[in-house]
Structure 1
């Protein structure tokens, strides 16, 4: 009996030592820091949209690297402001350390976001922002610059009197307003050639239908410019279906596998690509720094790049067009 007691005692000592070593290893691996809780509320979760898919993957990868639990909550449609606000209220009830959000409205979420701040929840804006400066951190493309790059390129391939139509996404949202502004700035004097601006409410189908109407209304139309993936791809589909790619140049913001194919077929003449994965990654990284009392940046431009048929398969640009092929790259390269 005494022999068995010795074995049991030895086993308990080994077990306790192993458990302690495991705890020490875990604390060293995580810097001895508690696991953070974040909720990210994008405008939509849509497997057909590479921008949102890539951005969300960026948040999830950063969460793994920075010892953070992240939950994704989103409405079914990008322009569902009421739905996003209901989700925001649900998120507030869960009392996370931080809420990261891509606001669908410039004005309609401010009061709820302020209430969240008053409850001690930190706020990070990703991709878009609201009228009031409620946030701790903003990570986004410089949308005026993105529009300006697109406008300058458009002006370079048009004749002085060519007619231009703009298919934007959601009227009044910060990204649409700023990209339209930048597009006009980039066009310069040719901004007077814009004959119409329509809004597709971030629907491929509505963008397609609006573009068909624009082509009928303006038979001499020479360019359609989309301001996000839904508006750009929808417009390009319409031009391709009409067999009008030789008459009407399509340019836009955001990319997808379909956009790449449409560029290869000569429909898209140029697109400005956002760095969506980087945007999501930095949103979580900087928020984790804030929550842990480390130095962090409050305003981050995640960058963008003009892509044309001539440069689409060169080095870094190819990585932007095919982000899901590069998710296993080292962290330093991804940033």
Structure 2
């Protein structure tokens, strides 16, 4: 670990395209890391995943009517009907473009809003160091770059703990509130625990928004200014579980792997799953467990469920990690032809399992757009714009259900995998 790295940053993680980054004391450090390929539709892509966790501050460089977002898009067959842009590409590249361009939109540009300042300072904290939030980070970074092209500097911190902890999140928010940030953004780890600190920061004059996958909304007693992210986690749980039930002929025993206890997105998806299963008299949920959003724990839990239930028919997986853990356990048990798995998001291993038929369906969120829109909304909040003027109170991002036919194209688009 570099000696000039802030001591309190050793537990943090971040992914960024550059390997030299500027920290608070303006010293440069270069941490060892593993490179991961993310090939976007614009051909962009090497980002760096920190092999050792780190905390970073980046210098990257009037209110109107809010823009309406498109409704949630769910693909029944995993294919897009979008036409190609007419450029000469290979058949494989065209397939990847057609099947994925509406799932993750890398072709984002800043809207027409004109920032009132030349420099902004933002603080973003999220649940846990995890590849899902690395994808959000790419959108944040690209938005900051586009502002820089317009002469606007976006300084930001993007920080999280190694393990999910609402107490840790409260601590981070408290510390951020003592500094001079234009906007504080949080992906809520636990609504009940985090809402009081959000409201306290607002009472002290801080501007606080929520982002990513978990909101603490007005109906929860939270006064946060706005939310950018998934507004339909319950519906995602419903859609995935309906796909599972149809595949199973509406009969069988199901296990649900939730994720992190108290995390709104995970709890809402599991609630959607429970409500769907309850509709069908020949189906029942026989196991439910929290895996703390880790592959290792979800794998262990899935092994236990399979051992206890020789007739287990399916898994509903409510986060990005547990489809991988469930698939590993099912394959290890030799029951891949008996057990149907549905789950969330774009983990590379999960997409390979989808491609190879071990996972039946994945709900992929547009993490890139979540990050991109978070920065745009933060700029407007910092300028004093209110929800409904130049941005909505809730910016709705899409989730697309993809199946085996689309997995290879998604792997190629996101990771450059063509085997």
Q: TM-score with structure 2 length normalisation?
A: 0.65
CA contact 1:56–1:277 (8 Å) conserved in 2: yes
Counterparts of 1:252 and 1:58, CA distance in 2: 23
Q: Are residues 311 and 190 of structure 1, via their aligned partners in 2, closer, same or farther at CA, if it must alter by over 3 Å?
A: farther
Of 136, 160, 163 in structure 2, the residue corresponding to residue 74 of structure 1 is 160
1:170-199 deviations in Å (ceiling 9; x for gaps) = 122211221112223444623852112111
Partner of 1:190: 280
CA contact 2:166–2:189 (8 Å) conserved in 1: yes
Comparing 257-266 and 31-40, the one that deviates more = 31-40
Partner of 2:197: 112
Partner of 2:262: 172
CA contact 1:269–1:309 (8 Å) conserved in 2: yes
**Displacement after TM superposition at 1:75 (Å):** 1.1
Q: Where is the helix percentage greater, Structure 1 or Structure 2? A: 1
Partner of 1:133: 222
CA contact 1:63–1:70 (8 Å) conserved in 2: no
Partner of 1:90: 175
1:1-335 aligned at under 5 Å gives the runs 33-46=117-130, 49=131, 51-66=132-147, 67=152, 68-77=154-163, 79-126=164-211, 127-130=213-216, 131-141=220-230, 142-187=232-277, 189-190=279-280, 192-294=283-385, 295-313=390-408, 318=410, 322-323=413-414
1:81-112 deviations in Å (ceiling 9; x for gaps) = 22222221221122201111101112111221
Q: TM-score with structure 1 length normalisation?
A: 0.80
1:255-300 deviations in Å (ceiling 9; x for gaps) = 2111111112221111111111111111111121222245221111
Counterparts of 2:413 and 2:406, CA distance in 1: 14
Counterparts of 2:214 and 2:195, CA distance in 1: 13
Counterparts of 1:261 and 1:74, CA distance in 2: 27
- Secondary structure of the residue aligned to 1:82 is helix
- Structure 1 portions without partners, runs of 5+: 1-25, 326-335
**Displacement after TM superposition at 1:219 (Å):** 0.7
1:112-167 deviations in Å (ceiling 9; x for gaps) = 11221122221111121233222111112110121121012111101333111101
Counterparts of 1:323 and 1:120, CA distance in 2: 40
Counterparts of 2:397 and 2:117, CA distance in 1: 27
Partner of 1:328: none
Mark the structure with the bigger radius of gyration. 1
Flag the structure with more relative contact order, 1 or 2, with Cα contacts below 8 A and sequence separation at least 6: 2
**Displacement after TM superposition at 1:202 (Å):** 1.2
- Structure 2 portions without partners, runs of 5+: 1-60, 62-113
Counterparts of 1:221 and 1:31, CA distance in 2: 55
Counterparts of 2:187 and 2:384, CA distance in 1: 24
Aligned length: 289
